[in-house]
Structure 1
Amino acid sequence: MDHQTHFFFAVSIPVETKVIMKKYLEQLNKRIPFSRWVHYEDLHITLAFLGSAPTEKIKMAEKNVKEIVRGSKPLKLQIQKLGIFGKEDSPRIFFADTVESNELQELRTKVFSACVDAGFKLETRPFRSHITIARKWKGNEPFQTKFLEIWNELQLEPLVFEATNIVLFQTHLNETPKYEAKSIILLE
């Protein structure tokens, strides 16, 4: 079956942070039943999901993003707790939550605008900075909010990292890891 490829812009997570997150994910996976855990190399913070589009339109969005983020500085971000999206008793997304950052919010607004200017119709829900770590609850019992406290229970340290680039990723659903960097835009 041929899957249509999708594109998105995201803040890249540094390799060192991904390696630490891999250890955290292994511990969480033993305790919390989700169907699909994200490969640690695929961890990121989505800024704008483009979906599938013609090459010219993707290139226009890339050009716009490069122009609009020129002069943007690297961001200090912190991961410190867990969260969910979807139904409280059967969440569809399990994520590592990042501390709110005005700088990240401003960067996301710029990237979002650049993509809209390239002709993309994007998701209009409010931006919530997060790193998806698992999808689709598969527990025999309903999800319990106590699972969100496991970060503290396992004494997982808050992770502070510097985000130094925005990446245009292409999705390859049948591969692991599934995201391929097509373009890297440095924050300097």
Structure 2
Amino acid sequence: MRSFVALWPSPEVVETLDRAVRHVRRRVPEAKWTRREEWHLTLLFLGEVDGALMPGLLEALDHVLDGYPPLDLSLDGWGVFPLSAPRASVVWAGVTGEHLIGLVDGLREAARSAGVRVESRPFVPHLTLARARPPLVTERILRTLGPPPRAGWRSDRIDLVESRRVGESRYRAVRSWETSGR
């Protein structure tokens, strides 16, 4: 199963972000803009997980996430991948929040302890807004986006999500953990 651990912005933040990028979608039609229903903050990308490892992975994630406190998060500017490149293949809205790095470190360790291979690249918290092939001129897309919106939310759950390539809904929550505090 192709999967990742994620949390979702509040409906109010989605609406604020959607208003901020609505005009850009028309002005930059060469980008493939993600649907607002798909905007999420990936905490841990797992990729293809062998079904035999799934019970151990769920147990390890339970250990980290059961009773995890809510996270206070906020949008934190625009960005692109690759970082600091003249051309961008991914455009995103940054996210900031206290305890994010600690949570991600805990999730990475949990997955590794269950035998799941985890990427070691630095965590850049973001909501993916668009992808582009060929890449866009970074300066142009960031200028077109204009000033980033300011909005925040409190997380209410964290999901293990299955990513499917077909069907009406691309993402399906396999397991959810309510953020409630320890």
Correspondence 1:62-73 to 2 at 5 A: 62-73=58-69
DSSP 3-state at the match of 1:47: strand
Q: CA deviation at 1:137?
A: 4.8
* 2:118 aligned with 1:122: yes
**2: CA distance, partners of 1:169 / 1:121:** 17
Q: Please, which of 21, 24, 28 is the counterpart of residue 24 of structure 2?
A: 28
Structure 1: unaligned runs, 5 residues or longer: none
On the 8 A contact 1:48/1:115 being kept in 2, the answer is: no
Q: CA deviation at 1:121?
A: 1.1
Q: Please, which of 155, 158, 175 is the counterpart of residue 150 of structure 2?
A: 158
Q: CA deviation at 1:146?
A: 4.8
* 2:163 aligned with 1:171: yes
Q: CA deviation at 1:147?
A: 3.0
Q: Which residue of 1 aligns with 2:131?
A: 135
Q: CA deviation at 1:48?
A: 1.3
On the 8 A contact 1:61/1:118 being kept in 2, the answer is: yes
Q: CA deviation at 1:64?
A: 1.1
Partner deviation per Cα, 1:71-123 (whole Å, 9 max, x = no partner): 32111111131100127233121100123x34111111111111111111111
Q: CA deviation at 1:151?
A: 4.3
Q: Which residue of 2 aligns with 1:112?
A: 108
Count residues in correspondence. Answer: 179
Residue type of the alignment partner of 2:15: V
Residue type of the alignment partner of 1:167: D
* 2:81 aligned with 1:85: yes
TM-score (norm 1): 0.83
DSSP 3-state at the match of 2:12: helix
On the 8 A contact 2:80/2:92 being kept in 1, the answer is: yes
